[in-house]
């Protein structure tokens, strides 16, 4: 017969492994990649990976709030694209990164609010409402940009995407701030 303390300890270990399996998998994968490529765990590569994933991490922060409330939003990528296209065009034509960014944030907020109103006031299921918004925002982006990339955005936009504060890429700093704000809101 097994000792009850041993059974409890085994269950606790199983629960802990189950709870942290994603992190354990990430650590194992990182260990394998660092053995296969000596440049994987370098300072420059790690910051490059963090910069590349920063946009998805910021979107994930917003999606966390949506999912925690039992909702779903399929339109975030398309709204981001449309807001970004408008902001990029303003920065290209006007040269002011601040005005362009504020306008992009306003457009994203309005489209997100419209999604919320359609779901709450119109009693449309979130999947349907955000699927429709995704299609409309994607189409609006293509029409607005004529299907062409928008270039020549100026130094302000360049810094946001490629700048550094000290040795840390600026997008990583924005991501850390977003994560800290979300943590504070969710913990209070």
pLDDT at 108: 95
Task: Name every residue whose Cβ is closer than 8 Å to that of residue 135 and which is 6 or more positions away in sequence.
Answer: 78
pLDDT digits (tens, 9 = 90+) for 136-147: 999 999 999 998
What is the DSSP code string of the chain?
---HHHHHHHHHHHHHHHHTHHHHHHHHHHHHHHHH-TTTTSHHHHHHHHHHHHHHHHHHHHHHHHHHTT---S-HHHHHHHHHHHHHHHHHHH--HHHHHHHHHHHHHHHHHHHHHHHHTS---HHHHHHHHHHHHHHHHHHHHTT-------HHHHHHHH-EETTEEHHHHHHHHHHHHHHHHHH-
Q: Which of 18-22, 60-64, 118-122 has the lowest mean pLDDT?
A: 18-22
> pLDDT by residue (tens digit) across 65-123?
999 988 899 999 999 999 999 999 998 887 788 899 999 999 999 999 999 999 999 99
- 4 pLDDT exceeds 70? no
Separation in Å, CA 174 to CA 20, 43, 143, 178: 26, 19, 30, 6
pLDDT band at 180 (very low <50, low <70, confident <90, very high): very high
Mean pLDDT, the chain, integer = 89
Chain-centroid distance of CA 141 in Å reads 19
| 36-44 average pLDDT score | 87
Helix axes 97-120, 76-94, angle to 10 degrees: 150
Among all chains, which residue has been given the structure tokens 């000290």? 166
Q: Which residue has the higher pLDDT, 13 or 103?
A: 103
pLDDT greater at residue 15 or residue 136: 136
């Amino acid at each position: 017969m097994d000792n009850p303390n041993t059974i409890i300890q085994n269950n606790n270990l199983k629960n802990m492994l189950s709870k942290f399996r994603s992190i354990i998998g990430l650590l194992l994968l990182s260990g394998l990649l660092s053995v296969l490529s000596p440049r994987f765990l370098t300072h420059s590569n790690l910051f490059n990976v963090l910069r590349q994933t920063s946009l998805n991490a910021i979107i994930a922060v917003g999606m966390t709030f949506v999912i925690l409330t039992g909702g779903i939003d399929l339109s975030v990528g398309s709204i981001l694209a449309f807001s970004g296209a408008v902001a990029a065009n303003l920065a290209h034509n006007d040269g002011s990164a601040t005005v362009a960014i504020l306008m992009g944030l306003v457009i994203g907020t309005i489209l997100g609010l419209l999604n919320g109103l359609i779901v709450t006031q119109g009693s449309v299921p979130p999947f349907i409402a955000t699927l429709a918004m995704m299609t409309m925002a994607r189409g609006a982006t293509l029409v607005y940009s004529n299907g062409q990339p928008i270039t020549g955005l100026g130094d302000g936009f360049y810094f946001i995407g490629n700048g550094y504060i000290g040795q840390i890429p600026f997008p990583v700093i924005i991501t850390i701030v977003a994560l800290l704000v979300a943590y504070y809101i969710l913990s209070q």
